Structure 1
Amino acid sequence: GGVKSSKNAWSAAGRSVGKLRGDIKTALTKLEEEQTGLGAGSESGGGIESAAAQRELCASWKRYLNGVSGKCGTLQDRLEKAGDHHYRNDEAIKSAFDGIDGLYKDTKPVGGESRGR
């Protein structure tokens, strides 16, 4: 009760997430560029023994960053629609945002497991 929605706030949040998505795409481009010579898809990997591991790591990062970029795009869309009052009510807004978790699964944290410690 008493909380009012601001189109400007929703729009600003959407723009910020959109900027983050642009930064991720820039990082993906840079990742591709930096693979030149090692050959992200080359068989020789420039003669480096660890080329297969390098290619696998590069592919893993590309998948991860593409997933994050997709999630940012979906979140940006939801934020902008909320600001433009495309949803019928607060419950519809909540449902739209709750659906994001079903579309994109976060990766498990790195660093091993505590094993109950």
Structure 2
Amino acid sequence: MALPALEIGVARRLVDLLSTDDGFRAAFTANPGEALLAVGFDPQRQPAEWETLRVCFAVRALASKEVIAAARHEINLMLTSGLGQLVPALDAGLGGVHVLKQPASDPKAQAA
């Protein structure tokens, strides 16, 4: 699953308010979807992204304003580039023995 990218202006407003405005921070924590609308996210232009973002942005507690401000550049990059999240299937083959396969050795390299 990939986190959809936000438009640059929306991401900047979001990070700016999360790093400065206590009222917005409370609103974001209570309802991330409404907070996204408040900073200019247009769900009609990006309906699939809307459903993903309003759920993925749910938080129990935000980092402090100072921490968010210090990481502003990195957060903006993450929010505007989209993030891929691939979860490895580490439990594949339950019930069997897991063996890491070693790369085949090159017979020419062994002769040298």
Compute the TM-score of the two structures, normalised by the length of structure 1: 0.24
Rg larger in structure: 2
Indicate the structure whose relative CO is greater, using CA pairs within 8 Å and at least 6 residues apart.
2
